[in-house]
A and B are shown apart, each in its own frame.
Chain A
Amino acid sequence: MDAYPLAVGFSLAIGIGLVANATLSTLFSLGRRWFLVLGRRRYRLHALGIENQAKDVHTDDEILGLSGIPWVNLYAGAAVTGLALFFWIGHYLPSARLAFLAAPGMVWLFKGYLVRQRRRFLLGQIRQLLIDLRLHMSLRGSMLLGLENVVQTTHENNLVYRVLKLRTSGGQAKSGLDVLRQVAADLKSAHLVRIVQRIQAAQQSGGVLTMDQALVSSIDELTEEINSQTEEQMQRLPLRITLLAMPFLLGPIVILFFYPLVDRILQTLSGTGIGGGF
């Protein structure tokens, strides 16, 4: 019964957390509604798409496209499942029962994996954006119109294009360079910052360097970097996958096949398992 206080404490924490979350979300939505009603003048500006630029801030989850996943529910579900497992089968496994309470940690790890995956091919995505931008700039005549045309015509839904869609929505963008600067800040990408600086330098050079040339040189630079990274990944991949596959795929196979046999042999040797099946 020493697990009882632990279970009580854990369930109290889960319950209080969930109730607090529900209450705070309700209060937040109510407050937001009241704020919009009271600040009607601002609300009208918002409806017209003219609003304070400082308010145009997106959370990391929105930028990474993870805001649609109900993380609080997942954490709560994992915690409740872990607690149920702790109660039902925890006393059969005294050495591993505390591991069930770490179930919300799996959700946290999964979220971290998704975040890493979203940022994994950032260079390739930036390169694709620059190629699209170069094409649409030639078609539309300016960088801002080109970026807006990219957003309208593309079907890509990766991180870079999603941020670009967020930044061009609402018709607030004043110049293409500003949009690119905001995208670079959202993505925290040093490469994109360098590219923006290069384009700005081309704009200010008075015709010595055209924007198209700046884009081409940026694309070439990214291509070289991506090529070297791809080569490196291709060389490392067989070793990495083999090393990971051995314990996680070969391990279960070996245990499933041989554990009953080994157990039977040990029981036979100790004189407790003679005759019968396993």
Chain B
Amino acid sequence: MSLFRWVLEASFLSLILGIFLSSRVLLENGCAILTSLWRRLYAPWTALRLRDLGILQEEKHTRKVTFAWRRLIIPVVAVSIAVAVGDALVSPLVLLSGAAALMWAQYQSAEAQRAKVNEDAELAVLQMRSLLNVDHSLLNSLNAIDLPDGSLKTAIQEVASRLQMHQPPEQAALALKNLPGAVTARLAALIANSSRITDEVQMGLFQAVEVEAHRQKAIRSKTRQTLALVRGTIRLLQGVAAAATIFVLLTPDWRIFFLQDVPHRVLLTVLLLCAVFASLYFEFEVHQLGRGEAF
């Protein structure tokens, strides 16, 4: 047997072994991702059905769980285009792009909810400082806070009810523990440690937290104003790119031209990937700067 034959067979065997090893790990990771995705999608739907049936009792002040029907537009459009094109290369690509857009929309929605909690916490700190100046009681201040409906309002009411049941502040503040945001965490720490510090120190710390929250809010507002033009331009370009893609994939002449042979298919694939990645990159860039992590 020649040396080349040996090398060839060894390389073939090593490739098969390598593919087996990597595909096993990839399959495991893929199964884990699919399971978590299924749980995430299935849990809100199940909760909604159980609430409709009256099996799950809705808590007072809890925001009603609603199924985001508008989010269904993205997968419906992606699946429709994929079916209409019916190509082994382009259809999966369209589905993947739709999945990426859906995931991005969900991420942004979760971020918006987090930002709302943080903004509510800023309001709560501002009101607490004013109320503590007048009435030096933590419980009265918490009871008098007026916030828009949301998870922070519910949590603050729970803290107040725990304090009324004579729980120590450390335990009462645990109601705020699972809420996101830096200001929320600072507010929880101030409530939890309120029995250890003097009124003067407490007022000073509330003032410091309030000043920082105010600064963050002012910079976020300024950044959003500055980014408005950039965001609008990118939205326009994204819209035109999406319209162009849909037009090219659904118009017979254009579709036949781009799917006529492998080089044209590769060109279409590269263009689609380029548009999708560029859209996601710009979205992420603007989102990151607007979120305020930089400040």
Q: Give A contacts to B, CB under 8 Å.
A: 8-9, 11-12, 14-19, 22, 70, 73, 76-77, 80, 89, 92-93, 120-121, 124-125, 127-128, 131-132, 134-136, 138-140, 149, 153-156, 158, 226, 229-230, 233-234, 237-238, 241-242, 244-245, 248-253, 255-257, 259-260, 263, 277-278
Contacts and interface: CB of A to CB of B under 8 A. Distances in A.
Contact of A256 (B10, B193, B245): B245
Given A22-B21, A238-B230, A256-B254, 5 more contacts: A139-B190, A154-B182, A237-B289, A256-B248, A277-B253
Interface of B: 7-8, 10-19, 21-22, 25-26, 29, 177, 179-182, 184-186, 188-190, 192-193, 196-197, 201, 204-205, 208-209, 212, 219, 223, 226-227, 229-230, 233-234, 237-238, 240-241, 244-245, 247-248, 252-254, 256-258, 261-263, 266-268, 271-272, 274-275, 277-279, 281-282, 285-286, 288-289, 293-295
Given A237-B227, A256-B248, A277-B252, A70 B25 contact: yes
Contacts of B257: 260, 263, 277-278
Interface residues of B: mostly helix, strand, loop or mixed? helix
B53 to A, nearest CB: 34
A182 B14 CA distance: 44
Chain A CB within 10 Å — which of B21, B223, B279, B288 has the most? Answer: B21
Contact of A155 (B26, B180, B275): B180
A239 to B, nearest CB: 10
Contact of A76 (B18, B196, B229): B18
Given A18-B17, A132-B182, A249 B238 contact: yes
Given A92-B263, A230-B219, A253-B240, A9 B11 contact: yes
Nearest to B201: A138
Contacts of A124: 293-295
